[in-house]
Amino acid sequence: TGVFQEMKTRECHFINGTENVRYVRRDIYNRKQYMIFDSDVGVFVGDTPYGEIQAWCRNRDPEILEDHRAAVDTFCRAGYELAAPFLTAH
C-alpha cells in the first residue's frame, strides 16, 4: 500500500506592485511537476507524457483557458489589494 500525493499550487509574482503580474499554476503528483500554466505563456504545458495529455485537454477548452488567463486579475491583483496593507511598512 503506497501513499500518493496530488497537489496544485497557485503563485502570483508581482513586479512593481500590480503593474507587472504573473500567475503560475503547478500540478504535482508525488513531488514531480507534470503540468504548468504560466500567464506569460497563456496555455498549459506538460512536463511529462501524462502532463502533455492533460495540457492538451485543457488547452482545447476555451473556458478553462480564459479562467486561467483572467486569474492575473481575479486571483492575483484582487489578492494583492487585500494583502497590501499588511505587506507595506508603516
Helix spans in 14-61 (H): 49-59
Rounded mean pLDDT of 4-10?
A: 93
Q: Is residue 1 part of a domain?
A: no
Task: Give residue 77's domain range.
Answer: 6-84
Burial letters 1-39, b for 16+ CB under 10 A, else e: eeeeeeeeeeebebeeebeebebbbbbbeeeeebbbbbb
**CATH number of residue 23's parent domain:** 3.10.320.10
pLDDT of residue 78: 86
Is there a domain that residue 49 lies in? Answer: yes
Q: Give pLDDT, residue 1.
A: 62
Long-range contacts of 39-44 (CB under 8 A, 24+ apart): 39/68, 39/69, 39/71, 39/72, 42/69, 44/68
Structure confidence at residue 58 (pLDDT): 97
Name the domain count of the chain: 1
User: pLDDT tens for residues 15-71?
Assistant: 887 788 999 999 999 999 999 999 999 999 999 999 999 999 999 999 999 999 999
Q: What is the pLDDT of residue 88?
A: 60
According to the model, what pLDDT value does residue 9 have? Answer: 95
